[in-house]
A and B are shown apart, each in its own frame.
Chain A
Amino acid sequence: GNSVTQMEGPVTLSEEAFLTINCTYTATGYPSLFWYVQYPGEGLQLLLKATKADDKGSNKGFEATYRKETTSFHLEKGSVQVSDSAVYFCALSMKAGGTSYGKLTFGQGTILTVHP
């Protein structure tokens, strides 16, 4: 079946540090890939997405590139802020067909804490 693996957390950084959160996936076929973010006490919200190989998703200074050869979708940000403290989830969604139609498969989440 499909699966998503994220780097173990929690990740603790100082403000303005560089962020990488690793994400790799296993899927039969060519999924769409997503990063969702969950701020304290809230539901998840879409951060960025990429729908085909070599696509780069970007939003709010975050970026991730869909790498088919390494089945990866690592999240990066050049200079994090305290307000970026949240839980980050990598997810995939498969094309129509079979039992995986339109549903998202999530990684386990990575807690990020940014200190001033």
Chain B
Amino acid sequence: NAGVTQTPKFQVLKTGQSMTLQCAQDMNHNSMYWYRQDPGMGLRLIYYSASEGTTDKGEVPNGYNVSRLNKREFSLRLESAAPSQTSVYFCASRTNRDYNSPLHFGNGTRLTVT
């Protein structure tokens, strides 16, 4: 009964370092999303993948790249981390692009960039 699994849970990086946030879902969902959550700003969409093999930019894509490795996995990469990327990152999935279907979220990755 895993749902959406994110790793790692916590990470501290120095400015300029790179890392990849991993996300996997076991619900056979087509669409997957990466959001960042910052105080007072709600959740903002970074990138999404409407189906395996496709990715698109969201509201705040600068400084990030993504890979939809297969139907289950959708990773987010920071090539050169900046303090402005300190945030909590959430991966989510949904069964299809139907705008009525709910998102299922992972428990988040708390990233600090010093």
The CA-CA distance from A108 to B38 in the complex, in Å, is 9
Write out the residue numbers on chain B whose beta carbons fall within 8 Å of the beta carbon of A49. Answer: 100, 102
Which residue numbers of B lie inside 8 Å of A, CB to CB? 4, 31, 33, 40-45, 48, 50, 58, 90, 92, 94, 97-100, 102-108
Q: Quote the shortest CB–CB distance from B110 to chain A (angstroms).
A: 10
- Complex A-B: 27 CB contacts under 8 Å: A31-B99, A32-B100, A34-B102, A36-B103, A41-B107, A43-B90, A43-B92, A44-B43, A44-B92, A44-B103, A44-B105, A45-B105, A46-B102, A46-B103, A89-B43, A96-B97, A96-B99, A101-B99, A102-B94, A103-B33, A103-B45, A104-B45, A106-B42, A107-B42, A108-B40, A108-B41, A108-B42
Closest 4 CB pairs of A and B: A43-B105, A102-B97, A46-B102, A106-B42
Interface positions of A from 31 to 70, Cβ below 8 Å from B? 31-32, 34, 36, 41-46, 49, 51
Beta-carbon nearest neighbor of B97 in chain A: A102
Write out the residue numbers on chain B whose beta carbons fall within 8 Å of the beta carbon of A41. Answer: 107
CB–CB A103/B58 < 8 A: yes
Interface centre among A51, A94, A95, A104 (most CB of B within 10 A): A104
Q: Quote the shortest CB–CB distance from B44 to chain A (angstroms).
A: 8
Q: Is A93 an interface residue (CB 8 A)?
A: yes
Chain A residue total in the interface (Cβ 8 A): 26
CB–CB B107/A102 < 8 A: no
Interface positions of A from 61 to 116, Cβ below 8 Å from B? 89, 93-96, 101-104, 106-109
The CA-CA distance from A51 to B104 in the complex, in Å, is 18
Contact of A44 (CB < 8 Å), options: B31, B90, B99: B90
CB–CB A43/B4 < 8 A: yes
CB–CB B105/A101 < 8 A: no
Q: Quote the shortest CB–CB distance from A69 to chain B (angstroms).
A: 22
Q: Quote the shortest CB–CB distance from B98 to chain A (angstroms).
A: 7
CB–CB A102/B42 < 8 A: no
